[in-house]
Amino acid sequence: DAKTTQPTSMDCAEGRAANLPCNHSTISGNEYVYWYRQIHSQGPQYIIHGLKNNETNEMASLIITEDRKSSTLILPHATLRDTAVYYCIVSRGGYNKLIFGAGTRLAVHP
Amino acid sequence: DTGVSQDPRHKITKRGQNVTFRCDPISEHNRLYWYRQTLGQGPEFLTYFQNEAQLEKSRLLSDRFSAERPKGSFSTLEIQRTEQGDSAMYLCASSTNTGESSGYTFGSGTRLTVV
């Protein structure tokens, strides 16, 4: 599975959009981009995933560049409860296990 | 069945003792995974099961570690002769057999402290 690169940490003001970038320049054509987050002392939580097209659900939006070498997770109106570590993972899905990196620590402040 | 359950939530043990953790996955999920997470790091893959079959083990899983999933339902992870380096959060996750999958569901983990 391809590796990903994420900033170590980011800050965001409450109510503003949080845009979390991820580079995955070695992604293969059959690999998906998954995003998970982990709030302190809890297990990781699935957020969203995509292959080529942009995706949106009740939690977030995922924007994948046309060449698929990078993506951005968007939390449209960040709240204090969105403070967490966000992991960007590239995987073929299905039978293939998820390999986590260090993620981005997002701090949402009042 | 509302999620993945792990027991206990916390375990403190003396070095050299054996410990066992339990994971109850979502009932319709046939895949079960174990991860280990140390402070400031992302979860590291340890092993996974497809039903009762253990299909892959990480090199992180030394011979002191053993995992089972009898009857393809709950799973146990045993650590023998614990060492201080085993102190970590042990996470269990489950998923279905779908193609791209909507993702893993993780439990809240078992935090192990070896003193």
Q: What is the pLDDT of residue B100?
A: 60
Collapse the DSSP code of B74 into the 3-class scheme (helix H, G, I; strand E, B; otherwise coil) and give the result. Answer: coil
Q: What is the pLDDT of residue B101?
A: 57
- Write the residue in B4, B42, B98 that is nearest to A87 by C-beta: B42
Q: What is the pLDDT of residue A102?
A: 92
Interface test with A, best of B2, B101, B105, B110 (most A CBs within 10 A): B101
Distances (CA, A) of A22 to A15, B22, B36: 22, 34, 23
**Average pLDDT per 10 consecutive residues for chain B, totaling 115 residues:** 89 98 93 94 94 90 93 94 97 79 85 98
Question: Which residues does chain B have within 8 Å of residue A32's beta carbon, measured at their own beta carbons?
Answer: 100
Contact call for B100 and A49, based on CB within 8 A: yes
Contact call for A98 and B108, based on CB within 8 A: no
Instruction: Report which DSSP code applies to B71.
Output: G
Contact call for A97 and B45, based on CB within 8 A: yes
Distances (CA, A) of A79 to A6, A13, A25, A76, B91: 21, 8, 31, 10, 26
Q: What is the pLDDT of residue B97?
A: 65
Query: B28, B3, B5, B2: which is closest to B75 by C-alpha?
Result: B5
By 3-state DSSP, what share of chain A in percent is helix, strand and coil, each rounded to 5?
A: 5, 45, 50
Q: A37-96: per-residue pLDDT in tens? A: 999 889 999 999 999 989 999 999 999 999 999 999 999 999 999 999 999 999 887 667
- Here the tokens at position A11 are 């800050």
Q: For residues B51 and B58, give the distance between their C-alpha atoms in angstroms, rounded to a whole number.
A: 18
Determine the longest span between alpha carbons in chain B, in angstroms: 43
- The confidence band for A97, taking pLDDT boundaries of 50, 70 and 90, is confident
Q: Give the nearest chain A residue to B88 (CA atoms).
A: A41
- Are residues B21 and B109 in contact, defined by beta-carbon separation less than 8 angstroms? no
Q: What is the pLDDT of residue A91?
A: 87
- Are residues A2 and A88 in contact, defined by beta-carbon separation less than 8 angstroms? no
Contact call for B4 and A97, based on CB within 8 A: no
Question: Which residues does chain A have within 8 Å of residue B42's beta carbon, measured at their own beta carbons?
Answer: 85, 87, 100-103
- Write the residue in A43, A44, A46 that is nearest to B102 by C-beta: A46
Q: For residues A72 and A59, give the distance between their C-alpha atoms in angstroms, rounded to a whole number.
A: 14
Interface test with B, best of A85, A98, A104, A105 (most B CBs within 10 A): A98
Question: Which residues does chain A have within 8 Å of residue B103's beta carbon, measured at their own beta carbons?
Answer: 34, 36, 46, 49
Per the document, the length of chain A is 110
